[in-house]
Structure 1
Amino acid sequence: MNFRSFQVPYQVDEQYSTRTAYFSMEFAVHNALKIYSGGLGFLAGSHMRSAYELKQNLIGIGILWKYGYYDQARNQDQTLQVTWMEKIYSFLEDPGIKFQILIHEHPVWVKAYYLNPETFNTAPMFLLSTDLPENDYVSQTITHRLYDANVATKVAQFILLGVGGAKLVDELGFAPDFYHLNEAHGISSAFYLLNKFKSVEMVRKHLVFTTHTPEEAGNEKHDIYLCHKMSYFCGLSIDEVRKLTGLKDDQFNHSLVALRFAKISNGVSQLHGHVSREMWGKYEGICPIISITNAQNWRYWADKQSYRAMEEGNDWAFDDRKKYLKKRAFNNVIADQTGKLFDPNILTIVWARRFAGYKRADMITQDKERFEALMHNKKYPIQIIWAGKPYPLDYPAITQFNSLVHLSKNYKNMAVLIGYELWLSKRLKQSADIWLNNPRVPREASGTSGMTAAMNGAVNFSTDDGWIPEFINHGHNGFVVPKADYENMTVHEQDEYDLNKMYDILENQVLPLYYDNYDTWRQIMKNGMRDVRFQFDSNRMAHEYYELMYK
């Protein structure tokens, strides 16, 4: 294969012939390639799989993280231990591409690795590394840890993705019509492209941007002088940067700059598009923000046997399959990690995703009396499982995780798991009867875990945020906490309202349905599986990017 005038190595479908380079800090394409932390990576991974299925003219650009995000282990008392393990990937190919970029006014060697589409059924992907003997140790560490806590290292990572990615595309001779930034981490590419195209107008013609953050405080900002010192602006002075970006203060706001440099951008659900337009509308010179709702790859995630039984109308096979999936996860994962024996006949609630404050992992435990009654309910017994990775330096989230671990020691029907990678995510979705999701509205831009849960016959039970308003029809294909006037509530009032509503729905609707009217319950499962099948399959999403963003 010629990596100096690179073409995607399959027959491109005519309607997807526009050449696109897709930049993302993380990709979750397979359990064997641990270069992801959470939802952003799961989304990017599904996008790459659908680009391959639809035969789109698209390549993925990411970073080869030597230690990944981190590995979850346990301390002696079963609390969370953060460990860093070197990853070695024999399946990545060496295209023989090495080049230099400037970081901190210092040349840094970058090597590209190639993920062949045939390996995991993805679009062709190139992953960048600075972990090379030609570099000094500090430069080598740029690609050690995903989202490094050191601010200068993080800025260097953003330069590598943006500038390094854009330079790699030139090295490949790929000449994309569009550079698609999945989140603003790679916006340094705009400064590289400015040197190449010589005008902001030309950069704007080629740049599109997906924003994932529904509140301004959550968007990355760094000191503009630090960015300048780190060679972020590809030779431009701070005054020139201010003039080009319209930034007035000393904070370099990555998302705002992306919105000013892009031709078009999108929020990742209908609600998030609305929230984003409202949030950024007060700034001048931003591009239009449309909505393309996130989705997940059905072919990779769905349990095909459950779908087959559903399509054949074979309820016995459908129920038998769900029991088998529950039993397999309970025996292979839960018993192994916790020494607890869960029963596949009991309603199982799963909360599993990245641990972050606004996602309120422990919300259901906050009403001690009701939680105790729920856990000891003889008439309607339940089992509950938690899993997910807090950011390794997010101490409140780690404390939340550890509190759940300690709490679980009091109950034989409660488990907290470590090792939340792609395979465990799939196992938990297969073993869940209820997929619990209770972020504070409107803090969740999309939240895609419930989509893949529905593809495995789990029923979504959620607050009304992200993609949920487009999906859940209460009591038909899932259960949803009705929205209150959250804007006029304190955080405490919002939490209390959501918690009480959640318990009311659980006690009065979910549990009686599951145990007293399983035929209706099964129908709700099937409705969810059907409704998620096409509307929230990433083939629809990848198609919409071509239709709405790359035209």
Structure 2
Amino acid sequence: MTDFRNYKVPYELTPEYSKSVAYFSMEFAIHQPLKIYSGGLGFLSGSHLRSAYELKQNLIGIGILWKYGYYDQGRNQDQTLKPEWYEKTYSFLVDTGIKFQVPVHNQPVWVKAWYLPPDTFKSAPLFLLSTDLPENDYLSQTITHRLYDADTAAKIAQMMILGIGGAMLVDQLNFNPEIYHLNEAHGVSSIFYLMKKFGSKEEVKKRLVFTTHTPEEAGNEKHDFFLCDKMSYFYGYSVPEVHKMTGIDGHLFNHSLAALRFAREANGVSKLHGEVSRRMWGHYPDIPEIQSITNAQNWKYWADKQLYRFMEEADNPGFDDRKRYLKKRAFDIVADQTGKLMDPDVLTIVWARRFAAYKRPDLIAQDMQRFEDLMSNTAMPVQMIWAGKPYPMDYGAISVFNSLVHLSKRFKNVAVCVDYELTLSKRLKQASDVWLNNPRVPREASGTSGMTAAMNGSVNFSTFDGWICEFARHGENSFIVPQADYHNLSIQDQDDQDLDHLYEILKNEILPIYYSNKRKWRDIVQAGMHDVRFEFESNRMVKEYYELMYQ
């Protein structure tokens, strides 16, 4: 029986990773059955915990047990998006018996801690907090119901449970981490608890590191100081004290800036994002130099091992056969969901990730004439699949999703899938020959879906943004949309230029190689698989966190 009052990581630690770390994240995508994630941030934290387990690091995860998850992506009668919320129950989580109170809105709210043991899904230990307890009134119970609740006060309360609650839990466990690592600024309320615990900003700073994932000012959470104060977010400190402590004036509390001001080390999540972040935050005094540690994904969890085996044995027929099988198997899911029968011998383009305006899910379909020509080409046929979850209150993104659903009804070879979670994500990567990624540069901090696509024999076709800048060699391991002049062109002109380039590359390079030069296509696929294997594998990433951020 685990002793949760004097908690130690329950496996033999590797000596160079013995420094103790508590890793705070709002979402963790560990495995399909545990639905407490929305998108990239969760996929990243999940891979982080899997690699920390593989390398036997002294790290524990701190997150929240979302009773209804993010949401379930169902369909209305006409196949358009229907967000649904169902209660989730998990037999594999362990009740730690730990309960404590966090002040929210000047009222004590009971918080309970659940535990995901490392052996369950091969991940570092994960503790999950819940307020869904009979001791709490109904409103307090709902704090941990929906990930990223649309209500502002509820969202602030969620951040408090992660930050203040997470820091309290660490004390309840008597874990005494040498490092508190905030993955994004959601948990920054912990600094006010730690100030009381350690007595000074200098002492907190020795122990805090911060990872930012947001490449633009507007994406960083800001909330009204007085609302935060009313919610007890500052854990007993007055607004003037917080102004002084964080150096943030005005009426808006900037969570990321507070995290930077209290962090000993900070990092962006790709080389480009590091540069963008240094420019973005550079004019603020009293913040650490923002380093770069490029995001990565866990090979053991994501990669198709058979494909790699055939590649390593130089068994080309075996390799081609395996990829065809992977496509065929994934197409069963597409057929089941949409009634569309896809052909494993046809070039398949997949666009699948979180639906957000800057990612431009519908870019390829913006010019209807060109899209129809592409989809009705019989000499070099193409299939197109879309999937991904928009934020349930992002009506712009939902309308784009729904427009693609209606578009798909006009074509036999176009499908839109729902329920884009870990399992479907892996299957659609296996289904794809071309992984289409066309965010507006430089809006994508890292974007990791293309890494796991490459691990499953798919070729990245992307705008030059995020991690791709460190990976891509056009025509050798991927295809790149040349950069538009993002500084001087209007958004509409950027989109038009990117679209022209996208179709040129598809027509003049991708399709001819796929259909007329199978050997070259296989070389490009395998070069991508090879290049992603170590450089963009999360064991490299978690090693770098120890070397660059924790030491």
TM-score normalized with structure 2 length? 1.00
SS in 2 for 1:436: strand
Q: CA deviation at 1:252?
A: 0.5
Q: CA deviation at 1:287?
A: 1.4
Alignment partners' CA distance in 2, 1:497 and 1:249: 40
Alignment partners' CA distance in 2, 1:249 and 1:215: 20
Partner of 1:164: 165
The root-mean-square deviation of aligned C-alpha atoms, in Å, is 0.4
- Deviation digits for residues 438-472 of structure 1 (CA, Å, limit 9, x no counterpart): 00000000000000000000000000000001001
Please identify, of 482-491 and 230-239, the stretch whose mean Cα deviation from structure 2 is larger: 482-491
Alignment partners' CA distance in 1, 2:11 and 2:401: 45
Alignment partners' CA distance in 2, 1:429 and 1:112: 35
Partner of 2:528: 528
**Which letter does structure 2 place at the counterpart of 1:424?**
L
**Which letter does structure 1 place at the counterpart of 2:471?**
F
Q: CA deviation at 1:288?
A: 1.6
Partner of 2:207: 206
Partner of 1:104: 105
Alignment partners' CA distance in 1, 2:370 and 2:483: 22
Alignment partners' CA distance in 1, 2:288 and 2:162: 22
Partner of 2:297: 296
SS in 2 for 1:487: coil
Alignment partners' CA distance in 2, 1:39 and 1:471: 18
- Deviation digits for residues 252-271 of structure 1 (CA, Å, limit 9, x no counterpart): 00001101010010000000
Partner of 1:378: 378
**Which letter does structure 1 place at the counterpart of 2:396?**
P
- Residues 253-402 of structure 1: pairs in structure 2 closer than 5 A: 253-331=254-332, 333-402=333-402
SS in 1 for 2:343: coil
Q: CA deviation at 1:151?
A: 0.3
**Which letter does structure 1 place at the counterpart of 2:248?**
L
- Residues 70-85 of structure 1: pairs in structure 2 closer than 5 A: 70-85=71-86
Mark the runs of 5 or more structure 2 residues left unpaired by the alignment: none
SS in 1 for 2:524: helix
Alignment partners' CA distance in 2, 1:281 and 1:489: 25
Mark the runs of 5 or more structure 1 residues left unpaired by the alignment: none
Q: CA deviation at 1:484?
A: 2.5
Q: CA deviation at 1:81?
A: 0.3
**Which letter does structure 2 place at the counterpart of 1:369?**
Q
SS in 2 for 1:534: helix
**Which letter does structure 1 place at the counterpart of 2:306?**
Q
Alignment partners' CA distance in 2, 1:80 and 1:198: 50
Q: CA deviation at 1:326?
A: 0.5
SS in 2 for 1:95: strand
- Deviation digits for residues 64-98 of structure 1 (CA, Å, limit 9, x no counterpart): 00000000000000000010000000000011100
SS in 1 for 2:5: coil
Q: CA deviation at 1:489?
A: 1.0
Alignment partners' CA distance in 1, 2:102 and 2:156: 14
Alignment partners' CA distance in 2, 1:136 and 1:449: 40
TM-score normalized with structure 1 length? 1.00
**Which letter does structure 2 place at the counterpart of 1:51?**
A
Partner of 1:252: 253
Partner of 1:450: 450
Q: CA deviation at 1:368?
A: 1.2
Partner of 2:148: 147
**Which letter does structure 1 place at the counterpart of 2:7?**
F
Q: CA deviation at 1:504?
A: 0.4
Alignment partners' CA distance in 1, 2:484 and 2:357: 20
**Which letter does structure 2 place at the counterpart of 1:305?**
Q
Alignment partners' CA distance in 2, 1:266 and 1:212: 9
SS in 2 for 1:127: strand
SS in 2 for 1:62: strand
Identity within the alignment, %:
69
Alignment partners' CA distance in 1, 2:196 and 2:334: 54
Partner of 1:504: 504
Q: CA deviation at 1:369?
A: 1.2
- Residues 18-167 of structure 1: pairs in structure 2 closer than 5 A: 18-167=19-168
**Which letter does structure 2 place at the counterpart of 1:210?**
T
Q: CA deviation at 1:155?
A: 0.1
Partner of 2:406: 406
Aligned residues between the structures: 550
